[in-house]
Amino acid sequence: MARRIFISFQHDDRMQAQGFNLLRWNPNVPVEFVGRHLLSPVESEDPEYIRRKIREQLDGISLTVVLIGRNTANSEWVDFEIRESLARGKGLLGIRVKDAGKVDAPPALVEAGAKIIDWDPDVFADEFERACLIADRPELGPPMRRWAAEGGCIR
């Protein structure tokens, strides 16, 4: 089943983001996803309007993939997309764009403890699933023995 992902990127990496979005139609790449993104720039300079458009794209996704290029760590909009994804409980995965080298990751991605991988389309599908599983992991409750001792009932 294809995951619905939001593609977060800094404007300088727009061509890389378009290429990433096209991977889902490449028969030689074992990855399926439905891409949500803002590849076409929002026609506004109003920050609240832009935030609303980002939030609309985040509706219904399970994962935000942050494409990391040379200037991504400094992008206020990428930071907003990461923090909004976290607030919604979405999975996060950082992918360094092709030929970017070991560039800095956005601070919000690092703070979230998200995995960051190098460009390798052969592993994308597995990494998407891992990131989604981590995000969906339920909080652990008290150990059963302690719960039972506190008056809980084991059936």
Residues of the chain with pLDDT under 70: 1, 137-155
For residue 154, tell me if it sits in a domain.
no
For residue 25, tell me if it sits in a domain.
yes
For residue 29, tell me if it sits in a domain.
yes
Domain count within the chain: 1
For residue 20, tell me if it sits in a domain.
yes
Instruction: Check which CATH number belongs to the domain holding 80 and give it.
Output: 3.40.50.450
Q: At 44, list the tokens.
A: 């506004």
Place of tokens 């919000």: 108
Q: pTM value?
A: 0.83
What is the tens place of the pLDDT at every residue in 28-73? 888 888 888 887 778 888 999 999 999 999 998 999 999 999 999 9
Q: Which domain holds residue 7?
A: 3-149
For residue 155, tell me if it sits in a domain.
no
Which ranges of the chain does DSSP label H, i.e. alpha helix? 14-22, 47-58, 76-87, 107-111, 121-136, 144-149
For residue 81, tell me if it sits in a domain.
yes
For residue 88, tell me if it sits in a domain.
yes
